[in-house]
Amino acid sequence: MATWKTSLTKFWIALLRYLNQPLFDKTRPTVLDPWKFDRYNKIQFLENCWELKYSSKEKHS
């Protein structure tokens, strides 16, 4: 069960990620809508996890 402290902590982490995004980076798009940024950030996280999992399986094979 999430308490208000954990919810507030998750909110601040998401807000800091949004505010600290690179603005003029050619490799990453700048996303001004916070909801779209959250979705984009989650997708990037999952892609990074997928790459790590795939590369670790490749090393062990």
What percentage of the chain reaches a pLDDT higher than 70?
A: 84
33-46 average pLDDT score: 90
φ and ψ of 59, to 5 deg: -70, -35
Within a domain: residue 56? yes
Count of CA atoms in the C-beta half-sphere (13 A) of 49: 6
Using alpha carbons, list the distances in angstroms from residue 31 to 13, 25, 43.
17, 11, 13
Within a domain: residue 61? yes
Within a domain: residue 58? yes
Total tally of structural domains belonging to the chain: 1
Q: Do 38 and 17 form a contact (C-beta atoms < 8 A)?
A: no
Domain that holds residue 41: 32-61
**In the prediction, which pLDDT does 27 show?**
85
30-40 average pLDDT score: 90
pLDDT per position as a tens digit, 4-27: 888 889 889 888 999 988 888 888
Within a domain: residue 39? yes
**Angle between helix 4-19 and 34-60 (nearest 10):** 90
